[in-house]
Amino acid sequence: MSTTPGQVAAIADGERVLVLSAGVGAGHNSAAAALQAACAAREDVAEVQVLDVLQVSSALYRDLLGKGYFVLVEGVPWLVEWGYDISDQPFRRRGPLDSWTRANSLPAVSAIKRFRPTVIICTHFLPAQLVASLLLRGVIDARTQVVTTDYDFQGLWLTSAFHSMVVARAEGRAQLTSLGLPPDRIAATGIPIAAQPADPPARSGGRPPMLLISAGAAGGDYALAVVRQTMHMRAPFTATIVCGRNVVLQRRIEQLVASAGDRYRVLGFTAEMQQLLHRADLFVGKPGGLSASECMAAGLPMVLVNPIPGQEVRNGDYLMEQGAAVRCNTIATIGWKIDEVLREPGRLQRMQAAAARVGRPDAAADALGRVLDGPARPMIVTRAAQRTILDASERRIVASDLTGPASLVRLVETGTGSTVAVLRAEQLDDLRERHAEPGEELVLRRTQASLPFGWEVRRLLRGVLRGDDALPVRVERLPDTPWA
């Protein structure tokens, strides 16, 4: 692992890791907490801090992004799905942050400067975009990582500069490399989740199957309908219902199941969720990225209800594709569908085996290792290359099919083999004019970063060189099979 001069003194005393999140739902902060915990197992980490960037923003900005999102989910879910799809094209929005977001980011930028991180990890696309801007402007000198928190990759997460990007599954990595992103900077490590119990409870085959019904972190009224449906099931079962912090919901469910004896157990917020996931046989709830990942790590298949349009629907699609879930699209058939799973011989066991195959219990440690042990030099995507990537996405083609001046090429650091830039072929002319060496090699030089290049090439030189005066690179074309 190479380091830039600005990092050497700080790293000598251990890495300073800053995890940036945004509290839009619980998943992003849960992933941040998992990464924070994973730092404790690394001897090279001296200090770690987690910052929810919305918590240091204005109340209006925080409410619009946080509470406003869930208002839309409840009231106009079709609009949420439309927004998800329209923003799914990578680099549809290029350029600097809008003025309102920039103003609300100032406290987060101040916090970053005070902490002086050597590593920044982002578990939400909002801080990821901010960090990319700071990296390109030279405000920070830290290795950066983008950690996605759903099974499908969504275009808003793709930034113009980063050191490492981790996605949940191999298909997401194939998607990005097909669009022209370098495979050496992208890894499919899974979604970071809390450490699994050292001695998890074993599922007992000698008792009725246990359902774990979750109302989500805040508690949702749909859980009441789910419980009511299970009361009509024919298959033997027990059920634990977790109502989160919704005390009113907990009381209503307790009243509903009061006549059912000890078949039902009703809980509020609990710190024993990991134990419950390992003890249960079937989970009933929403397919949030973190919830689904925790279930898969515990080998716990899911019955999916009330998914948020966009990311949760796509999470569910993936889990069903793998045989680890079934989905209920109609509230009136939830009991029937769970009954079908429990009554069919061997079906529950097959789903549990599928869930275990999907599970990535070490995702947090794997993601952390990618950035701590990875390249110190960032990878930059020029604006021109971003336009090409967007074009390839809209035309539904792989980037290697593009030809001519608008095709993509990569600059690869000769000494390490790491990709340091993705640019359009036509941008090579400026670089070759001043940096060409005998053969195909280029040597990028700091003394030429201020010469009258196009502004994009100047920014590229500043970002790639970092603390070095010169950097030998070679030009590589995209492979015909980018995901190989």
Query: How do residues 378-428 score in pLDDT, each as one tens digit?
Result: 999 999 999 999 988 888 889 888 888 889 999 999 989 999 999 999 888
479 C-beta neighbours (distance < 10 Å), count:
12
Model pTM?
Answer: 0.91
CB 44 within 8 Å of CB 36: no
Binning pLDDT at 50, 70 and 90, where does residue 1 land? very low
Residue 379 is classified by DSSP as: E
Phi, psi of 229 (to 5 degrees): -65, -40
Using one digit for the tens of pLDDT, what is the confidence trace for 444-472? 887 655 544 567 777 788 888 877 888 99
Residue 5 confidence (pLDDT): 44
Annotate 411-424 with b (16+ C-beta within 10 A) or e (fewer): bbbeeeebbbbbbb
221 token code pair: 């009224």
Where do the H-state alpha helices sit in 179-288? 222-230, 247-256, 273-279
Alpha carbons 53 and 20: distance in angstroms, whole number: 7
Q: What is the mean pLDDT of residues 154-182?
A: 94
Residues comprising the chain, all counted: 484
Query: Poorest-confidence range of 23-27, 202-206, 418-422?
Result: 202-206
User: End-to-end alpha-carbon separation of the chain, Å?
Assistant: 25
Is the pLDDT reported for residue 326 higher than 90? yes
Residue 223 confidence (pLDDT): 87
274 token code pair: 């990991």
Using only C-alpha atoms, the chain has a radius of gyration, in whole angstroms, of 24
Taking CA atoms, 15 is separated from 4, 123, 133, 234, in Å, by: 14, 19, 22, 56
Q: What is the mean pLDDT of the chain?
A: 87
105 token code pair: 């980011």
186 C-beta neighbours (distance < 10 Å), count:
22
**Residue type for 237, please?**
F
Beta-strand pair 408-413/419-424: antiparallel
Taking CA atoms, 161 is separated from 142, 420, 464, in Å, by: 12, 9, 10
51 token code pair: 């910052």
CB 167 within 8 Å of CB 145: no
Q: Is 143 helix (H, G, I), strand (E, B) or coil?
A: strand
Alpha carbons 346 and 205: distance in angstroms, whole number: 12
Which H or E run contains 17? Answer: strand 15-21
Nearest 5 degrees, angle CA 107-CA 136-CA 138? 70
Annotate 324-337 with b (16+ C-beta within 10 A) or e (fewer): bbbbbeeeeebbeb
Alpha carbons 331 and 321: distance in angstroms, whole number: 22
Residue 423 confidence (pLDDT): 93
422 token code pair: 């993705």
Residue 428 confidence (pLDDT): 84
CB 355 within 8 Å of CB 300: yes
Q: What is the mean pLDDT of residues 127-132?
A: 93
Residue 9 confidence (pLDDT): 44
Is the pLDDT reported for residue 171 higher than 50? yes
Longest dimension (CA), the chain: 85
Dihedral sign of CA atoms 338, 339, 342, 345 in order: negative
CB 48 within 8 Å of CB 36: yes
Phi, psi of 159 (to 5 degrees): -115, 170
Which H or E run contains 289? Answer: helix 289-297
Q: Is 198 helix (H, G, I), strand (E, B) or coil?
A: coil
CB 381 within 8 Å of CB 161: yes
Residue 36 confidence (pLDDT): 96
Residue 124 confidence (pLDDT): 94
Q: Is 316 helix (H, G, I), strand (E, B) or coil?
A: helix
Residue 206 confidence (pLDDT): 77
Question: Which domains, ranges and CATH numbers included, belong to the chain?
Answer: 1-196+361-376 (3.40.50.2300), 210-360 (3.40.50.2000), 378-484 (no CATH)
